[in-house]
Amino acid sequence: MQNTTRTDWGRRQPPIGGSNFELYAWFFMRVSGLFLVLLAAGHMFIMHVFNDTLNLDYEFVAARWDTPYWRTFDWLLLALSILHGTNGLRIVMHDNIANKLHRSLALYSLYFVSTAFFVLGTYVLVAFVRQS
Residues that bind ligand HEM (CB under 6 A): 11-12, 29-30, 33, 36-37, 40-41, 43-44, 47, 53, 56, 61, 64, 70, 74, 77-78, 81, 84-85, 88-89, 91-92, 121, 124-125
Binder of another protein out of 2, 53, 68, 101 (CB under 8 A): 53
94 binds, among another protein, ligand HEM, none (CB under 5 to 8 A by kind): another protein
* Closer by beta carbon to ligand HEM, 74 or else 106: 74
Encode burial over 13-37: b for 16+ CB neighbours within 10 A, e otherwise: eebeeeeeeeeebbeebeebeeebe
20 binds, among another protein, ligand HEM, none (CB under 5 to 8 A by kind): none
Tell me: does residue 127 bind another protein (CB under 8 A).
yes
Torsion of CA 50, 51, 53, 56, to 10 degrees: -150
Q: Residue 35 in contact with residue 76, Cβ under 8 Å? A: yes
Element (H, E) at 3: none
User: Which residues make Cβ contacts (< 8 Å) with residue 51, sequence separation at least 6?
Assistant: 60
Q: Residue 64 in contact with residue 70, Cβ under 8 Å? A: yes
Tell me: does residue 76 bind another protein (CB under 8 A).
no
Tell me: does residue 11 bind another protein (CB under 8 A).
yes
Tell me: does residue 24 bind another protein (CB under 8 A).
no
Tell me: does residue 63 bind another protein (CB under 8 A).
no
